[in-house]
Every structure is written in C-alpha cells, then in structure tokens.
Amino acid sequence: MLNGYGLFGIFVVIVAILMLISVISDQADARWFASNGVSVRGEIVDVRAKWTNTMVPVGNGAMAPNSHRRYVATVRFTTTDGHVVTSETKPSGRRPGSPGDSVQVSYDPGDPSHLRLLR
C-alpha cells in the first residue's frame, strides 16, 4: 500500500516524464522548422497572456494551486506567394514582443497558419 510519500514520488516521476516529453516535442518542432519552414518577416498584432492552473505537491501528500502565465502572440505575415496570413503562436513562457514589433517567422509552406517565431 502506498503512503503519502509513495504517492508524492509517483507524482514527481509523472511530472518529470511529461516535462521531458514537452522538451523533446519542442526540440523536434524547432528542428522541423529549421529544415522545412519558410522564413519571412512578420508583425506582432496582438499578445495576450493565458494562465495555466496546476496543482503542485507541497509536502505530506498535500497539494496547492500554482498558476503559470503563458503568452500567445497573433502574428501577421505575407507568404512568399503573396498570401497574407494572421495566425497565433504556440503558448510560450517568454513574452514574444509587443504589438507592432517586427519579428522573423518560420511557417509551414503546406499550412502557413502553423508558424514559429525565430529568436
């Protein structure tokens, strides 16, 4: 039978695995855009914060709420064949800029709404 510490250990392992999957997925996405994406200049037209609420362990099997702010940017750019696209970025912990800022965008030529901001 599991006690509070055993459950806490299982929870920590699950969180670590989910974080690792997230990092690997982000790296694969970055590699894909580096190899296949088309790079153009774009403009940030909106930035909004999204809050993600999670529960985190605080000891003795107790959990407490924790909020994380993630930013989503709406970006407008013109594809190499002249189509104007307005699309949102994936949520990021880093603020991507402010409305009106010029940014370098890499987009999927098969689906230009799938984009990534280049740093």
pLDDT per residue over 19-75, tens digit each?
778 778 777 777 888 889 999 999 999 999 988 777 777 777 787 888 888 899 999
Euclidean distance between CA atoms 91 and 56, whole angstroms:
21
Average pLDDT score over residue span 94-116: 94
Query: What pLDDT is attached to residue 101?
Result: 96
Closest CA to 39 of 106, 87, 112: 106
Type of residue numbered 55: M
- 112 in Cβ contact with 42 (< 8 Å): no
As a whole number of angstroms, the distance between CA 46 and CA 100 comes to 8
What pLDDT is stored for residue 1 in this prediction? 53
Count the neighbouring beta carbons within 10 Å of the beta carbon of residue 116: 21
Reduced DSSP (H G I as helix, E B as strand, rest coil) percent helix, strand, coil of the chain, to 5: 30, 50, 20
Question: Is residue 76 within 8 Å of residue 43, measured between CB atoms?
Answer: yes
User: In the structure encoding, which two tokens stand for residue 11, read together?
Assistant: 């929870």
DSSP H helices, the chain, are 4-36
Task: Write down the pTM of the prediction.
Answer: 0.69
